[in-house]
Structure 1
């Protein structure tokens, strides 16, 4: 039997166990997936090995540490500087992957001919999205409230919101958690309206709630998506790694979505 878990702090809200366990059961696999609250990132490797896990998903705030402790590091995870999926071999060797990036790309696969993208926010998620888009040849701009975070985005064009001169983008992406628990926007409303007016598509990493950002997108009749499909697809790609399964992506996604709808 495979033992799998998601590590984070906080972690009680995570939907990963529900998603993965339903897919495991539906596919008749011999495994169980649970969650683990970790208080000290320096104990991540020790806990992974002492619990005799076959694999794990890693969420906030341990994705950077997950990459550091790995013996093998996937190229995309190295570029992004973090990992959200770990595979632990029988010899105790750890392989690190980032399925957030391909999960995002798959979730926006119906958005065609994206050549220029604006990402609002400069956190860890925005870095994954930026590298995913750059990998596809998209011109990427990152905008943020403060200068400090932008130092990590020297690999692409970046700017403070107040200094953003370019206003025409094919897609505007909210990578922040702003709007999750309140009715605020990721940046100044007048600026955001100007950006959305010129855009074709919009994406919000938040899911399960109509955020103020999404409400504005509706006002401008944009094609938009929230983060639900990204959540599902990053889970699908992690599941494939856990069980070395190929050619069952749509079936895995179906079972994971079923679990979220229960």
Structure 2
């Protein structure tokens, strides 16, 4: 029987076991999926070898890229991985975050340019996703320390964002609003952006964040990160079980599990 896991710190909150196990049961695969709480990144490679495949979450996505023997194109560009396969004593690294994001925003039409708030690993994955669709991307952050890792994206400090800047899509990849009621940057900066935008997306899922609430006040079409979470899980599941012909069934099973009370 194959065994899979999600690895992170913290990890107890992860919905991945619920999603993957329901899909495994629904599609009658002989496999199981669990959580693994890892606190020391230098042990990641040894832990991965216990499993047939793993999903990687905060704060080990960059380390997952470093320990891999094979990196797909997305991982090479993004510099982080969220899905690892352990095959023939080799570690294969993939990034399904960017694929999940693209599926999640399919209903957002005619996007020409986008602004991403935050400059961490998730921002890099989403910037790569948008660039694969020939969408112009800019990234804004409160400090410039991470800008050098952003593959020549146009970067701004928040205070450098001008009132006349126009972006079709504004994406929040920061943790602002996750456990508090704060915005990722000053309210007047966001309002200037929202008045010229069409869409707002927050990677935080299952919560009406202040970012999304303000965007709706400006009549933007909004989405949280629920569909991104689901679809990145679907694409990881396909890699784990090599089952590319059952995508809709996998999605339905994971969605059902995510919505259990």
TM-score, scaled to structure 2: 0.97
Number of the residue aligned with 2:170: 172
Q: Does 2:145 align with 1:148?
A: yes
CA deviation digits over 1:23-55, x for unaligned, max 9? 000000000000001121111111222x2x110
Q: CA–CA distance in 1 between the matches of 2:65 and 2:147?
A: 21
- Alignment partner of 1:101 out of 98, 101, 105: 98
CA deviation digits over 1:78-102, x for unaligned, max 9? 110010000111x211100000011
1:148 Cα deviation (Å)?
1.2
Q: Which moved more, 1:34-43 or 1:143-152?
A: 143-152
Q: CA–CA distance in 2 between the matches of 1:169 and 1:46?
A: 44
3-state SS of the aligned residue for 1:178? Answer: coil
Q: Does 2:221 align with 1:219?
A: no
1:194 Cα deviation (Å)?
1.0
Q: Cα RMSD between the aligned structures? A: 1.0
Aligned pairs, number: 259
1:149 Cα deviation (Å)?
2.0
After superposition, residues 199-214 of structure 1 pair within 5 angstroms as 199-214=197-212
Number of the residue aligned with 2:115: 118
Number of the residue aligned with 2:7: 7
After superposition, residues 1-262 of structure 1 pair within 5 angstroms as 1-49=1-49, 51=50, 53-89=51-87, 91-165=88-162, 167-262=165-260
CA deviation digits over 1:158-177, x for unaligned, max 9? 11111123521110011111
3-state SS of the aligned residue for 1:147? Answer: coil
3-state SS of the aligned residue for 1:3? Answer: strand
1:61 Cα deviation (Å)?
0.8
Q: CA–CA distance in 2 between the matches of 1:187 and 1:241?
A: 37
Q: CA–CA distance in 1 between the matches of 2:193 and 2:48?
A: 44
Report runs of 4+ in structure 1 exceeding 4 Å deviation: none
Unaligned runs of 5+ in 1: none
1:154 Cα deviation (Å)?
4.7
